[in-house]
């Protein structure tokens, strides 16, 4: 993913889950690849935001992530995402929310490693 910043560079405070505003995001593809969901979880509280998407495109994911988090933008310090193509517009999300975005390690068998 172009311009990605490794999770290894994420601030230590985000790893501790001791402050509000450190988020993780992921997508889930629908049955028979019909639609998708985006989920954004605030890591300290477990508060979750979910939106249904018509398709799992980078543009729709960008718009949904930005729209879901914009009301909470004062509580968005970091956002950790996987390396999926749907997060190709991560730099747009970062700019819109004035947040730092980090990419997790590789994905294996649908499981995310080193994000949580």
The per-residue pLDDT for range 4-32, each reduced to its tens digit, is 899 999 999 999 999 999 999 999 998 88
**Is residue 37 helix, strand or coil?**
strand
Q: What is the CA radius of gyration of the chain?
A: 13
- Mean pLDDT across 33-49: 96
> Which pLDDT belongs to residue 106?
60
DSSP H helical ranges for the chain: 12-16, 58-69, 90-97
Q: What proportion of the chain, given as a percentage, has pLDDT over 70?
A: 90
> Which pLDDT belongs to residue 115?
45
What spatial distance separates the first Cα and last Cα of the chain, rounded to whole Å?
20
> Which pLDDT belongs to residue 107?
56
**Is residue 45 helix, strand or coil?**
coil
Domains and CATH numbers, the chain: 7-104 (3.30.420.10)
Q: Are 84 and 38 in contact (CB under 8 A)?
A: no
What integer best gives the mean pLDDT of the chain?
90
Q: Are 47 and 41 in contact (CB under 8 A)?
A: yes
Q: Are 106 and 114 in contact (CB under 8 A)?
A: no
> Which pLDDT belongs to residue 105?
72
């Amino acid at each position: 993913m172009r311009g990605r910043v490794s999770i290894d560079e994420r601030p230590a405070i985000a790893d501790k889950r001791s402050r509000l505003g450190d988020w993780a995001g992921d997508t889930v593809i629908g049955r028979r690849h019909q639609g998708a969901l985006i989920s954004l979880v605030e890591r300290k509280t477990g508060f979750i935001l979910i939106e249904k998407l018509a398709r799992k495109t980078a543009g729709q994911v960008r718009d949904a992530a930005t729209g879901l988090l914009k009301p909470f933008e004062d509580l968005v310090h970091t956002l950790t995402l996987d390396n999926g193509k749907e997060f190709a517009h991560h730099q747009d999300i970062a700019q819109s929310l004035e947040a730092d975005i980090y990419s997790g390690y590789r994905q294996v068998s649908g499981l995310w490693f080193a994000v949580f």
